[in-house]
Structure 1
Amino acid sequence: MNAQIPTRNLADALWLLVARARGGAHWLANTACDVHSVEIEHSAQPVTLLRSERSSPQAAQQVQSYVASPVSSWVSYPQHELARRLQANPGFAARTAAACALSPLSLLLKGCGLDQAAIFGNRLISTNLYPDWTYPQLQQLQQQLLDLYPQRPLMLRNICPQVTPGLAKSLQDLGWQLIPARLVYLCEPGQASVWKHNHVKQDKKLLAGGDMQVLSPQQLQAADLPAMRELFRSLFIHKHSGLNPDFTPAFFEMCLESNFLDLYALRLQEKIVGVVGLYEHYDPYSERNWLTTPLIGYDQNQAQDLGIYRRLMSLLLQQAQQRQASLHYSSGAGQFKRARGGIAHLEYTAVYSSHLPRFQRHCNEVFAALMQKHAPAILKKADSV
Structure 2
Amino acid sequence: MSMLNAQQWHQGYFEMMLEGSKIAQLDADFVYYQQQGLTIPATISHTKVNNSYVVSPLTLITGYAQDEIPKVRFAALRWFSYQLVKIVEKPLQLAGVGTVQTLNNQCLSTNMYCQGWQTINLSKLRTQALQTRSGHALLLRSLNAAQHSPIIERCEQDGWLAIVTRQVYLHTDWSAVVAGKDLKTDLRLLKQPQWTFKKLVTEQEIERAKVLYDALYLGKYSEHNIQFTLSFFNHGVQSGLLSLYGLFYQEEMLACVGMVIIDGDMTCPILGYDLQQPQKLGLYRRASAFTINYAQQHNLRFNMSSGAPWFKRNRKAKAEIEYSYVYCQHLSKPKQWVWKTFAWLTKHFYRPILEKQGL
1:99-248 alignment runs, 5 A limit: 99-131=82-114, 133-134=117-118, 137-188=121-172, 190-191=174-175, 193-194=177-178, 196-217=179-200, 220-248=201-229
AA matched with 1:372: K
**1:318 aligned to 293, 306, 320, which one?**
293
SS of 1:151's equivalent? coil
- Residue 327 to residue 136, structure 1, CA distance change in 2 (3 Å): closer
Decide whether the 8 Å contact of 1:118 with 1:153 is kept in 2: yes
Distance 2:316 2:232 in 1: 31
Give the aligned partner of residue 367 of structure 1.
342
SS of 2:25's equivalent? coil
Distance 2:246 2:96 in 1: 41
1:263-274 alignment runs, 5 A limit: 263-274=244-255
Alpha-carbon RMSD: 2.0
Decide whether the 8 Å contact of 2:198 with 2:247 is kept in 1: yes
AA matched with 1:259: G
Give the aligned partner of residue 322 of structure 2.
347
Check if 1:79 corresponds to 2:66: yes
Decide whether the 8 Å contact of 1:189 with 1:327 is kept in 2: no
Give the aligned partner of residue 9 of structure 1.
7
Distance 2:120 2:194 in 1: 54
Q: Which runs of 4+ in 1 moved over 3 A?
A: 4-9, 91-95, 381-384
Decide whether the 8 Å contact of 2:10 with 2:39 is kept in 1: no
Give the aligned partner of residue 22 of structure 2.
27
Decide whether the 8 Å contact of 1:33 with 1:51 is kept in 2: yes
Decide whether the 8 Å contact of 1:6 with 1:258 is kept in 2: no
- TM-score, L = length of structure 2: 0.93
Distance 1:222 1:5 in 2: 21
Measure how far apart 1:76 and its partner are: 1.2
- Residue 268 to residue 376, structure 1, CA distance change in 2 (3 Å): same
Cα displacement string for residues 212-239 of structure 1 (whole angstroms, at most 9, x for unaligned residues): 121125xx32221111101000000010
Instruction: Using the aligned pairs only, state the percent identity.
Output: 27
Measure how far apart 1:160 and its partner are: 0.8
Decide whether the 8 Å contact of 1:189 with 1:317 is kept in 2: no
Cα displacement string for residues 264-298 of structure 1 (whole angstroms, at most 9, x for unaligned residues): 1101122111100111111xxxxxx2111111000
SS of 2:358's equivalent? helix
Measure how far apart 1:5 and its partner are: 6.4
Give the aligned partner of residue 281 of structure 1.
262
Measure how far apart 1:92 and its partner are: 6.4
Distance 1:192 1:145 in 2: 40
- Residue 230 to residue 381, structure 1, CA distance change in 2 (3 Å): farther
Unmatched 5+ stretches in structure 1: 53-58, 283-288
Cα displacement string for residues 349-379 of structure 1 (whole angstroms, at most 9, x for unaligned residues): 0000001111111111111112121121122
Check if 1:259 corresponds to 2:234: no
Decide whether the 8 Å contact of 2:162 with 2:323 is kept in 1: yes
Distance 2:339 2:119 in 1: 23
Measure how far apart 1:95 and its partner are: 4.1
AA matched with 1:65: S
SS of 1:49's equivalent? strand
Measure how far apart 1:129 and its partner are: 0.7
SS of 2:53's equivalent? coil
Give the aligned partner of residue 43 of structure 1.
38
Distance 2:119 2:177 in 1: 35
Distance 1:360 1:135 in 2: 30
AA matched with 1:9: Q
Unmatched 5+ stretches in structure 2: none
Measure how far apart 1:381 and its partner are: 3.9
Distance 2:128 2:331 in 1: 16
Check if 1:69 corresponds to 2:56: yes
Give the aligned partner of residue 290 of structure 1.
265
Cα displacement string for residues 3-27 of structure 1 (whole angstroms, at most 9, x for unaligned residues): x9654533432221132343xxx21
Distance 1:236 1:245 in 2: 8
Q: How many residues align?
A: 356
Distance 2:202 2:42 in 1: 32
Cα displacement string for residues 126-171 of structure 1 (whole angstroms, at most 9, x for unaligned residues): 0011135256621210110122221111111011111011001011
AA matched with 2:62: V
Decide whether the 8 Å contact of 1:160 with 1:347 is kept in 2: yes
Give the aligned partner of residue 335 of structure 1.
310
Higher mean C-alpha deviation, range 290-299 or range 208-217: 208-217
Distance 2:350 2:229 in 1: 32
